[in-house]
Amino acid sequence: MNPTGMLAFYAAVAAGLVLLLVVIAGQLSPRRPSPVKQKSYECGVSEPQPTEARWPIRFALVAMLFLVFDVEGLFFYPWAVQIRELKFQGLLCMGSFFAVLGVGYIYARGRGALKWQ
């Protein structure tokens, strides 16, 4: 099969599978609504305390910064595997990448993004 046909086949299978799962879930799942199940977080157990409690917006910022630096840090792994083959040029490229990442950290710290209060 040529790539165009493969793509069409893939798209048809993906769409068909989604449709099938929605129909099966709708037809087979029993419907026994209860006040607990109607709540926003539902896993069959009533929550021990209200989930609508406030949580500090700071958490979102720290989580976002963690995500950014964590994902960027992943680039070190492939470099570490190829460190001998890439020689000095690899070191230079990774050094420049680390400098950009480092400035990002200095900036975030300088602007107080890591202070909880």
Q: How many chain residues interact with other proteins (CB under 8 A)?
A: 17
Cβ closest to other proteins, residue 65 vs residue 104: 104
Phi (first) and psi of residue 94, to 5 degrees: -70, -35
DSSP secondary structure, 36-93, as one string: TTTSSS-SSS--SS-TT----THHHHHHHHHHHHHHHHTTHHHHHHTHHHHHHHHHHH
Cβ closest to other proteins, residue 46 vs residue 96: 96
Residue 10 structure tokens: 């893939």
Cβ closest to other proteins, residue 7 vs residue 19: 7
Q: Of 7-26, which residues contact other proteins (CB under 8 A)? A: 7
Q: Which residues contact 36 (CB under 8 A, 6 or more apart)?
A: 42, 44, 45, 46
Of 100, 115, 116, 117, the one binding other proteins by CB under 8 A: 100
Interaction mask 63-92, other proteins, x per CB under 8 A = -----------------------xxxx--x
Q: Which chain residues interact with other proteins by CB under 8 A?
A: 2-4, 7, 86-89, 92, 99-100, 103-104, 106-107, 110-111
